[in-house]
Amino acid sequence: MIPLSILHELSGECSLPKESRNATKRTLEIELCRRRTTSIEAVSKLGRSHATSGATVLVYDCHNTERPPGTVAPSPASSLDPAVKDAYALTSKLVAFLRNCLNRNSIDDEGMPLISSVHYSNSYCNAFWDGGEMVYGDGDGVMFQGFTRSSDFIGHEVMHGVTQYTANLSDVDEPGALNESISDVFGSMFRQWISNQDVSGADWLIGSDIMGPVALANGWVCVRNIADPSSKKSLTKLPSTFDQYTPHGDPHLNSGIPSRAFYLAALAVGGKSWERIGMIWYAALSDKSASRSMTFSEFALLTLAACKRLFPAKSDIADSIENAWQAVRVLP
């Protein structure tokens, strides 16, 4: 979720407190060593307690180790541990979002338990989906607050799971950037859904709830900005058009291009992002012809095809989507 390049920059930024530099350096080391192996076996062993409308929400505590899932957190809905309580509450809401907005039964559409492991490592400044569960760090309290505070971060990691069970996009090059973009736009969509915001009222920021006091003092109000990918107030500066795409670059960085296309389409159509544009993006992601190596342009064409299927009488929506992809120079 936090790009390696950003962690590297922060770990060497002399103006930041020593504890923050050490925390980001350690996080970078973990990211470089960590292997994204699936936790499907663990999922089968964990059972199905704390059911939430057909899908199970489970929260585990790593106790600052790097061995998820950890131990089960009892009574997560009423826990005095903010990370446990937030992970449970927001993931439970996400179950409802998937069901009500995407007509999807959990990550795999078959009621898969949603497992969250909190308190991963010490001052770990990141979060990730490992193939079977979501894992969250506590941040260092200086640059980053606890990652379970952020509904869009939680939505981001869960959507990596949804992508795994649909298009199964690669994590490199254009499909990798598309993978990260899908997680960002649906994470933002989930945050907007919680607040019942329309597209014009949303701030389209990713990670604004986890920015620590030193980050804010430096003028960084978010991790990424979907509406303005290159914003100086964003910790991560992203390209916004395809002519700025970096071949074989970090997928988190190149994700700004398709993310801005989503924003432009949503803004042009108006209303609630999950009611039309979100449905179209999800239909394209789950299309049978979507492939692991899908490029930006191939996905763009799938969104146009999905629009015609879902809203055949709304040529203005199709025009808005095509114009958005053209604006970011993905389609001619």
Residues annotated as part of the active site: 157, 252
- Among candidates 189, 209, 208, which has minimal Cα distance to 199? 189
Helices and strands: H and E segment counts in the chain? 12, 8
Q: Where are the beta strands (DSSP E) in 45-194?
A: 51-52, 55-61, 71-72, 114-118, 127-129, 134-136
DSSP 8-state symbol, 53 = T
Burial (CB count within 10 angstroms: exposed 0-12, middle 13-18, buried 19+), residue 156: buried
Provide CB contacts within 8 A for 263, sequence distance 6+.
Answer: 185, 204, 226, 227, 324
Provide CB contacts within 8 A for 49, sequence distance 6+.
Answer: 56, 58
Q: What is the dihedral of CA 298, 261, 307, 104, to 10 degrees?
A: 90
- Among candidates 89, 95, 85, which has minimal Cα distance to 53? 95
> Contact at 8 Å (CB) between 95 and 84?
no
- Among candidates 190, 192, 204, which has minimal Cα distance to 264? 204
DSSP 8-state symbol, 308 = H
d(CA 92, CA 280): 24
End-to-end CA distance of the chain: 31
